[in-house]
């Protein structure tokens, strides 16, 4: 009887750690998705890069997220003259993967 209770506790503990890691990954992906979509809309409405960077600094708190948005995402958007927010949703998985990798990189 004690062995079954002990195994049950181990199972609950293991499932807690697995579910927490899964939730964290999903939360990071959703943060990347919303922030990248927001910057895409800012770029569509306003072409002045300094105003966009000021808005990024004011809106987002994370240093790695700010760095990614200003140094990687914004130049990628500006490189394509015909970029629209719909283009982001077409290649959303690829873009989000880049953002998550950048956020998890140790710098």
Question: For 17-71, how does the pLDDT look when each residue is reduced to its tens digit (9 = 90+)?
Answer: 666 555 556 788 889 999 999 999 999 898 899 999 999 999 988 899 999 999 9
Give me the torsion for CA of 95, 100, 106, 107, rounded to 10°. Answer: 50
Residue 6 lies in a domain: no
Give the total number of structural domains in the chain.
Answer: 1
Residue 65 lies in a domain: yes
Q: In which domain, by residue range, is 84 found?
A: 26-104
Other beta carbons within 10 Å of 2: 6
């Amino acid at each position: 009887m004690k062995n079954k209770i002990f195994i049950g506790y181990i199972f609950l503990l293991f499932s807690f750690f697995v579910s927490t890691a899964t939730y964290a990954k999903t939360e990071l992906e959703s943060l990347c998705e919303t922030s990248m979509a927001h910057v895409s809309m800012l770029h569509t409405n306003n072409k002045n890069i300094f105003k966009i960077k000021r808005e990024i600094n004011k809106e987002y708190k994370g240093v790695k997220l700010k760095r990614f948005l200003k140094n990687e995402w914004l130049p990628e958007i500006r490189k394509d003259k015909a970029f629209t927010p719909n283009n982001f949703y077409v290649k959303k998985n690829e873009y989000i993967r880049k953002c998550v990798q950048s956020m998890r990189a140790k710098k």
